[in-house]
Amino acid sequence: DDGSEDLTFQQSLLTAKESLDSVSDIKYDPASKNPYYEYTEDDGVNHTVWFLDASTAYNQLQAAKPYGIAGFALWRLGSEDPSLWSIFGSGGKTGSPDDLAKIKYGYDVDFEGTGEILQVVAQPQDGIRDIRAGNTGQIDHEVYQQMPSSYVIQRTGDKPGKIALTFDDGPDPVWTPQVLDVLKQKGVKATFFIVGENGQANPELVKRIVAEGNEIGNHSFTHPNLAEVPLRVTDLELNATERLIEALTGRSTRLFRAPYFGDAEPRTPDEIDPTVQAQNLGYISVGLHLDPDDWKLRNDDGSPHTAEQIVSEVVEQAKNTTQEERGNIVLLHDSGGNRQATVDALPMLIDQLRANGYEFTTVAGLADMTEDEAMPPIPQDQSFYTKTDAYVFYAISILGWIMKWLFLVGIILGLGRMAFIGALAFAQYARSRRREAERFGEGFEPLVSVVVPAFNEERVIVNTIMSLLASDYKNFEIVIVDDGSTDKTFKVVKEAFAREPKVTVFSKENGGKAEALNYGWRVAKGDVIIALDADTLFQPQTIGALAHRFADKTIGAVAGNAKVGNRINVVTKWQALEYVTSQNFDRRAFASLNCITVVPGSVGAWRRSVLEEAGGFSSDTLAEDQDLTIQVRKLGCHIGYEENAVGLTEAPDSLRNLAKQRFRWSYGTLQCMWKHKTALLNPRYGTLGFIAMPNVWIFQVFFPLVSPI
């Protein structure tokens, strides 16, 4: 050991700042191309400090270039001249020496004084140096003109023999009252750094803390890591908590402790920024040196963290008398988990510290502040605003309580619904298997009319008709209703199927889908009417599967199995999954209770006589298929589900189009529910009124409405 000492770049500049008369005393050695300085301590010991900076790194990079070095590594991160990053890690380009003229402030923080109450007394400032490169391309001239400086934090509150108890994260309805009981019994006052949302949920505890002579500090509203959030969020967190404290106690507070503040000394600029922000708002930041980690439920070896250990750790830490680490402030917690060990430790801790000669005080006492200075009373002229804030926080608290219970009820209902729907769907599946085994309805072959309303569908209409003509079922006709298309839909169908007797095409003025459907089924000849969207493709078995179900005279309509046909991207693939797991799953389940609410326009069939009795499709809503389905069910008809009747529909392939479709569906559903509101909880309509419609109101209207909140 030659007696030398390693320093970081910032430590070397800090030593120079404290030891040299002038920044010009930093010299540059042209032979080694290194900066250095010399100084003599008060005891006569001479020191020479050689240090590496961004200019030396620049020269090293330049010297290595001719050797084709693939890359460079930096040792040790945090010890370097921060200006180095303007030339380092730039893909082999070292930039210009002029880039190094500004000396950026370093990563360390300069602390002055002793204690755990912090005040930022100086902000960082960049330094300046004059740098020039010679003919070789390397820097051969460097003169430091202005030293950089980092944050300077003044520490105060060091009072040997005094101890202040502080409690973070409360108030908690279980643990805070027990803590207050112990403090009152022992005659000790403490400082509670409350979390705003906990104070809002437990306003009486906030009032009790102050009423019993304790102090309250600001610990943010939602307990975020303030070093990781924007400054405007820090402002909002502190202001919201401040207004809550004022509204509940009639006093403000000047005491602040940042969440996740592990000790009395923030070490990085990110950790200091919240302190600076709080200071700008009028707060003083309160740190700590006595921390028993009472929040830990278990030790590192897995054993329980006991009350005795908490007491022992505080007492042992309090014995530390070094200037940097001795402490007066104890950090404990009255919320955030099981705090039984803290509650059990508190009376023992108070007795032990008193026995060791310590006197209890508050943070205000350590800061030489009176009660009114630490927690100033609200002026009378602001009392109106304070009362208004109190009502606002009360309303928010009630709303939060309501939303919490809605959330819990929603989870319970959702899980219950899932189990209920699953059981019903399984029952329907079993019945469908029995029907297949019995070959139900295979001898029943009524004339089926497939009505296809079309508006500007020249691109897809031919494929749709071709899929229908490929059907295994033979006794059917196709009725195309051109609803005033502005493209060549009518002409395309006419030309493509002029010689196909099953296809008939009509043209009418545009009147909307419902009107086109009504026109179509009224000119059709079949006893079973299938309403088909022009962009949907039927599989060969679909028409027959739908028709055979009408062998049951009680059936008024049958919902088919709609699937997504254009699975071309993530949007459509997710919809394909939704169609299988949600829409068709629900229809299968509700078929067991005869309360299907939607026979989809993409694949569904209706008994003609029922259509006539129901009055056909209505234009009252945007969901004409749902409207008619509910009306048919109100007539007392059964509505079935046929999984073998598969229709491949075109789903929206972009989020924009999907949003438009879902808005139309949602609004149409709401219109239908309102139109048929008399069926809700009406015994006349059985499961429609007591299961299907409440299901829509709760799970398709109410919960989607409140879920964004």
Q: Are residues 507 and 643 in the same domain?
A: yes
Higher pLDDT among residues 55 and 705, named by residue: 55
Q: From the CA atom positions of the chain, what is the Rg in Å? A: 39
Our CA dihedral for 235, 240, 243, 249, rounded to 10 degrees, sits at -120
Q: Are residues 149 and 222 in the same domain?
A: no
- Reference 317, options 341, 333, 293, 286; nearest CA is 293
Distance CA 273, CA 259 (A): 13
Distance CA 273, CA 68 (A): 42
pLDDT tops 80 at residue 80: yes
pLDDT tops 90 at residue 524: yes
pLDDT tops 80 at residue 637: yes
Our CA dihedral for 425, 430, 435, 439, rounded to 10 degrees, sits at 130
The DSSP symbol for 379 reads P
Q: What is the pLDDT of residues 226-250, one digit of tens each?
A: 988 998 999 999 999 999 999 999 9
Domain stop point among 378, 399, 415: 378
pLDDT tops 90 at residue 407: no
Q: Are residues 126 and 182 in the same domain?
A: no
In a domain, residue 494? The reply is: yes
Task: Confirm whether 168 is a catalytic residue.
Answer: yes
Distance CA 49, CA 350 (A): 49
- Reference 611, options 527, 674, 543; nearest CA is 527
**pLDDT value, residue 430:** 86
**pLDDT value, residue 709:** 59
In a domain, residue 570? The reply is: yes
CA distances from 28 to 5, 63, 146, 212, 268 (A): 20, 19, 15, 64, 30
pLDDT tops 60 at residue 262: no
Q: What is the pLDDT of residues 506-522, one digit of tens each?
A: 999 999 999 999 999 99
Q: Are residues 549 and 436 in the same domain?
A: yes
E-strand ranges in 458-565 read: 476-483, 503-508, 528-531, 537-538, 555-564
Residue 657's CB: how many other CB atoms inside 10 A?
A: 12
* DSSP 3-state of 456: coil
- Reference 652, options 585, 577, 568, 560; nearest CA is 568
Average pLDDT, the chain: 92
Residues 6 or more apart in contact with residue 208 via CB below 8 angstroms:
177, 180
Q: Are residues 168 and 215 in the same domain?
A: yes
In a domain, residue 205? The reply is: yes
Q: What is the pLDDT of residues 274-304, one digit of tens each?
A: 889 999 999 999 999 999 999 999 998 999 9
Burial class (CB in 10 A: 0-12, 13-18, 19+), 703: middle
Domain holding 454, by residue range, is: 428-652
**pLDDT value, residue 708:** 65
Are the C-beta atoms of residues 642 and 473 closer than 8 Å to each other? Answer: no
* % pLDDT > 90, the chain: 74
Tell me the average pLDDT across 105-130.
Answer: 88
Q: Are residues 360 and 452 in the same domain?
A: no
- Residue 304: asked if its preceding bond is cis (omega within 30°), the reply is no
How is 74-142 classified by DSSP, letter by letter?
A: -SSTTSS-GGGGGTTTSTT----GGGGSEE---S--EEEESSSEEEEEE--B-EEEEEEE-TTSSEEEE
pLDDT tops 60 at residue 117: yes
Highest average pLDDT, of 102-106, 144-148, 212-216, 265-269, comes from 212-216
Q: Are residues 139 and 213 in the same domain?
A: no
Distance CA 574, CA 580 (A): 10
Residue type at 322 in one-letter notation: T
Task: Confirm whether 181 is a catalytic residue.
Answer: no
In a domain, residue 384? The reply is: no
**pLDDT value, residue 419:** 92
Q: What is the pLDDT of residues 382-395, one digit of tens each?
A: 777 777 877 888 88
Q: Are residues 348 and 237 in the same domain?
A: yes
In a domain, residue 456? The reply is: yes
Strand order in the sheet with 555-564: 503-508, 476-483, 448-454, 528-531, 604-607, 555-564, 638-649, 537-538
The DSSP symbol for 376 reads P
* DSSP 3-state of 596: coil
Per annotation, catalytic residue among 223, 289, 333, 548 = 333
Domain stop point among 356, 378, 400: 378
In a domain, residue 207? The reply is: yes
Helices 307-318 and 340-355, axial angle in degrees (round to 10): 40
How is residue 632 written in tokens?
Answer: 């048919």
Tell me the average pLDDT across 75-81.
Answer: 88
pLDDT tops 90 at residue 531: yes
In a domain, residue 705? The reply is: no
Q: Are residues 436 and 556 in the same domain?
A: yes
How is residue 490 written in tokens?
Answer: 């009518």
Q: What is the pLDDT of residues 537-547, one digit of tens each?
A: 999 999 999 99
In a domain, residue 659? The reply is: no
Q: Are residues 164 and 147 in the same domain?
A: no
**pLDDT value, residue 620:** 93
Per annotation, catalytic residue among 53, 81, 110, 168 = 168
Q: Are residues 434 and 474 in the same domain?
A: yes
Domain stop point among 652, 668, 702: 652
- pTM beyond 0.85: no
Signed CA dihedral, 92, 93, 97, 100: sign only? negative
Are the C-beta atoms of residues 632 and 614 closer than 8 Å to each other? Answer: yes
pLDDT tops 90 at residue 616: yes
Q: What is the domain-level CATH number for residue 288? A: 3.20.20.370
Higher pLDDT among residues 451 and 379, named by residue: 451
pLDDT tops 70 at residue 525: yes
E-strand ranges in 467-603 read: 476-483, 503-508, 528-531, 537-538, 555-564
Q: For tokens 């919902």, what's the residue? A: 559
The domain total for the chain is 3
Q: What is the pLDDT of residues 170-220, one digit of tens each?
A: 999 999 999 999 999 999 999 999 999 999 999 999 999 999 999 999 999
pLDDT tops 60 at residue 312: yes
> What is the pLDDT confidence band of residue 89, given thresholds at 50, 70 and 90?
low
Distance CA 451, CA 436 (A): 27
Q: Are residues 122 and 169 in the same domain?
A: no
